[in-house]
Amino acid sequence: MSLHVVIGFGPAGAATARLLAEQGHTVRVVTRSGRSPEAGIEHVALDATDPERLTEAAKGAAALYSCAAPPYHRWTSAWPPLAASVCTAAEATGAVLVMLGNLYGYGPVDGPLTEELPLAATGPKGRVRAAAWEQARTLHEQGRIRAVEVRASDFFGPGVTDGGHLAARVVPPLLRGKPVSTLGNPDAAHSWTYLPDVARALVEVAGEERVWGRPWHVPTGRARSVREMVDLLAAQAGTGPATVRRIPPAVLGVASLFSPLIRELKEIRYQFDRPFVVDSSAYEAAFAVRATPLDEQIKATVDWWRERAATTR
């Protein structure tokens, strides 16, 4: 088996590293702080924006997975040096660059999101994410690197605690039978990407040279509103129908004065105020991975949160 290097150990990076280890690969994870070793995974502490040190860590790797994300309020300043460093390391080592992307780069769109849409975002976070891929794509077309991007919608599932949409702000109160609060219109259709499917897609595209050089959407099930998802989670938890409350815009406005995260969410509020639907049919026509059945997603998510609650009391 070959060496695979994963940058970042958030939910997606951790899931990807552990999947690769389960498959028998040698896995090296790069983070700023490092971590204690775990079965099949070596953790290395370094700043991934340092191209020389990242290149050294990636020597001999078959694939380099870019799964790190700077703090949300620092995206515009922190993404460009990270993206440049990752591309430099990919070029120096010959490792295929597998980028984990999101859907911000498209900007507001009427109708389902497909990979053929232009990257027309006007907000700073959307533009910086689009620029990261365009940089890699240009280098790929020049023959200097081999790159592919896998784009996911808001993910949820075991291991996902941040983001708030179906994570820490929603599931713990739901498990206690309490009302939950949500951004935007709780009845607008929204695509949710299951975290294990993100990892499976990243690993699958890394080994398929025929699909490099373009973006792909992670297999994602039918779009469902926040209210629908909360009802399914509550039913699985046995806590009865859940009350879903929309956070009033005025409250968000006041909160944004004190919270950089809330302030930054203004740019992507459109994703929750109206339908936000992902089309992953192109991926499904080209690959074997499919979205995990929804009932399995819901059960695994509830089980994980319950186990987390039991171990953190």
For the domain made up of 161-190+222-276+293-311, give the CATH fold: UDP-galactose 4-epimerase; domain 1 (3.90.25)
Mean pLDDT of the chain: 93
Q: What is the pLDDT of residues 173-184, one digit of tens each?
A: 999 999 998 888
What's the pLDDT at 179? 92
| Between residues 152 and 166, the one the model is more confident about | 152
Which percentage of the chain shows pLDDT scores above 90? 81
**Helix (H) / strand (E) containing 101:** strand 96-101
Place 255 in a pLDDT band, splitting at 50, 70 and 90. Answer: low
Query: What are the residue ranges spanned by the domains of the chain?
Result: 3-154+192-217, 161-190+222-276+293-311
- SS3 labels along 24-90: CCEEEEEECCCCCCECCEEEEECCCCCHHHHHHHHCCEEEEEECCCCCHHHHHHHHHHHHHHHHHHH
Cα–Cα distance between 99 and 86 in angstroms, integer? Answer: 9
Q: What is the pLDDT of residues 113-152, one digit of tens each?
A: 999 999 999 999 999 999 999 999 999 999 999 999 999 9
Please check whether residue 55 is in contact with residue 95, taking contact to mean a CB–CB distance below 8 angstroms: no
Does the reported pTM lie above 0.85? yes
> What is the average pLDDT across 207-222?
97
What's the pLDDT at 79? 96
What's the pLDDT at 234? 95
CATH superfamily for 3-154+192-217 is NAD(P)-binding Rossmann-like Domain (3.40.50.720)
Which percentage of the chain shows pLDDT scores above 70? 95
What's the pLDDT at 44? 97
What's the pLDDT at 227? 95
Q: 3-state class of 100 per DSSP?
A: strand
Q: Is the pLDDT of residue 303 over 90?
A: yes
Strands 180-182 and 215-217: unpaired
Q: Is the pLDDT of residue 165 over 90?
A: no
- What lies within 8 Å, CB to CB, of 244 at 6+ separation is 179, 180, 181, 182, 186, 226, 227, 230
